[in-house]
Structure 1
Amino acid sequence: MDIVLLLKAAVMGVVEGLTEFLPISSTGHLILTSTLLGLEGEKIKVFEVVIQTGAILAIVSLYMQRLLQTVVDLPHEARAQRFTGNILLGFFPAALAGVLFIDVIKGVLFNPLVVATSFIAGGVVMLWVEARQVRQPAQRIDDVDTVRWRDALAVGLIQCLALVPGVSRSGATIIGAMALGFSRRAATEFSFFLAIPMLFGAAAYDLFKHRALLSVEDLPFFAVGLVVSWASAWVCVKWLMRYVASHTFVPFAWYRIGFGLLILVTAYSGWVNWTP
């Protein structure tokens, strides 16, 4: 395997791991990075989905004790049953919408104007929600164990917006949850847990759908991207949970707005092809 190609896989893994759980859209950053690295084709699109698995494994490893305890307690403990039910309820709407509409979304919505608009609009909504937090600081939900089924379903419906390119799954779920009365920390953790079935499911579906494209020779390339994605996501999640304890998402909002403007400039200058 070409060492340069493995280095490119590592760079893509770093970008995926650092952007998957921040509210800035990993997809947009992966498109820009793959263009800069000269990585193109259907196999690269599968690779981008698969390395999400590495990022999700970071969540699993960081919350392993919580997840294992939930499995042990599930048959007889109401808290574990409520938590599991809420995650499945939040997962279902976007999973169903993804299976039904993903090809249409990719064919119709994945263009520079939509991607840029999603970035900018997401940044504006983020600024509005953070300003609202200042005016109305009290939250109904300060812990993922106190989430009600209606809250979980509402966040799950909001997660469907992430099917629109540029919206960001973590951005939609975190900011949507905060708008519904979650604390910043509870919204962030609930978004993490929702990502586990969502991204594992997306990776499994995409691998099965495009299995004819892959061969044993691709294993080192995919393995490097996945491992590096796990390591960088692990660092990012640890940092993010410390960050939300005492900071707002306002810097990410302005970053999204700036990135949206960058998309418009690069797309209409012909520098980056923002179509998947």
Structure 2
Amino acid sequence: MNIIELIKVIILGVVEGITEWLPISSTGHMILVDEFIKLDVSAEFLEMFLVVIQLGAILAVVVLYWQKLIPFDYKNNWKIKKDTFSMWFKIVVACIPAAIVGLLFDDQLNELFYNPLTVAIALIVFGILFIFIENYNKGKRSKITSLNEITYNTALIIGIFQLIAAIFPGTSRSGATIVGALLIGVSRTVAAEFTFFLAIPVMFGASLLKLIKFGLAFTTNEFILLIIGMLVAFLISMLTIKFLMSYIKKHDFKVFGWYRIVLGIIVLVYFMIF
């Protein structure tokens, strides 16, 4: 295996592991990073790789939140945990808008919006939104301070915001859902946790769709690159999720808003010049 390609995949895995959970757009960063490092693979494999690498990030959520995610109490004769089942039903409801659009228009959306200009604009717009919402909410008490308080209506609203990210790369799936949650009075920690859990079926479904379209005709090289990318994404995601949950207990999301604005401007300038 070419060591240079291996290093590129490790870089992409690190980028995925950091940006999937911070509200700064993983897909946007992956598209932009690939503009510079250019993996030496087919266009079909690259399109699949940039999505399926997210499975590594999903596994980090499952490992870290296993107790909250499993709907059975295995320490108490596998008793059903009704609150957990209820949470999963709400997650399914939140997934419906993005699932419908993804299944019907995945290829068309890729052709229309998967480009640096769209990424840059989405980075800037949602960066401004983060700053505006945090300023608007300053001093206000959150209406929803636990996962159990999220209603089906709340879940659907968050799912509609997630749809924006499904359409426009650079928006950030976590960024869009957190913005939507904050707007309707969900606390930062609950918004972040619900976003993590919502990612499991969404990212698994998106990855499965890409794998089906690509087929299973991997070369040995391609398979190794994908596994390494997923493993790196998993390890970095573990650290990133822990950092984010610790950070937002004492800070707001405005720093991510400013980061998005600055990065978006840099991207716009770069692609206008080159």
TM-score range, shorter chain: over 0.9
Structure 1: which 5+ runs fail to align? Answer: 271-276
Structure 1 residues 70-79 or 94-103, which shifts more?
Answer: 70-79
2:67 corresponds to: 65
Amino acid paired to 1:11: I
> Paired residue for 2:57?
55
Deviation at 1:46, TM superposition (A): 1.2
Equivalent AA in structure 2 for residue 30 of structure 1 = M
Counterparts of 1:112 and 1:47 in 2: how far apart (Å)?
18
Equivalent runs, 1:35-184 vs 2, <5 Å = 35-39=35-39, 41-68=43-70, 70-72=71-73, 76-135=80-139, 137-163=140-166, 164-184=168-188
Are the counterparts in 1 of residues 72 and 80 from structure 2 also a CA contact under 8 Å?
no
Counterpart CA distance in 1 for 2:80 and 2:207 is: 31
Q: Given residue 36 of structure 1, which amino acid in structure 2 is its aligned partner?
A: F
Q: Given that residues 5 and 39 in structure 2 are in contact (C-alpha distance below 8 angstroms), is that contact kept between their aligned partners in structure 1?
A: no
What corresponds to 2:241 in structure 1? 237
Paired residues of 1:87 and 1:194 also in contact (CA < 8 A):
yes
Aligned to 1:5: 5
- The residue aligned with 1:273 is none
CA contact (8 A) 1:12 1:30 kept: yes
What secondary structure sits across from 1:181 in the alignment?
Answer: coil
Sequence identity, in percent? 39
**SS of equivalent residue, structure 2 residue 138:** helix
Displacement of 1:238 in angstroms is 0.5
TM-score by length of 1: 0.92
- Give, in whole Å, the separation in 2 of the partners of 1:76 and 1:212: 37
Instruction: Measure how far apart 1:32 and its partner are.
Output: 2.0
TM-superposed CA distance for 1:4, in Å, is 2.1
What is the TM-score normalised by the length of structure 2?
Answer: 0.92
2:253 alignment partner in structure 1: 249
The residue that corresponds to 1:14 in the other structure is 14
- For residue 6 of structure 2, what is the amino acid of its counterpart? L
Runs (4+) off by over 6 Å: none
Query: Unaligned stretches of 5+ in structure 2?
Result: none
**Counterpart Cα distance in 2 of 1:87 and 1:44:** 29
Task: Give deviations 1:154-185, integer Å, cap 9, x for gaps.
Answer: 10111100021211100000111011110000
**Matched pairs, number:** 268
1:232-271 deviations in Å (ceiling 9; x for gaps): 011000000000100011110011001111121122223x
Q: Distance in 2 between matches of 1:92 and 1:213?
A: 30
Indicate if the aligned counterparts of 1:6 and 1:220 stay in contact, CA closer than 8 A: no
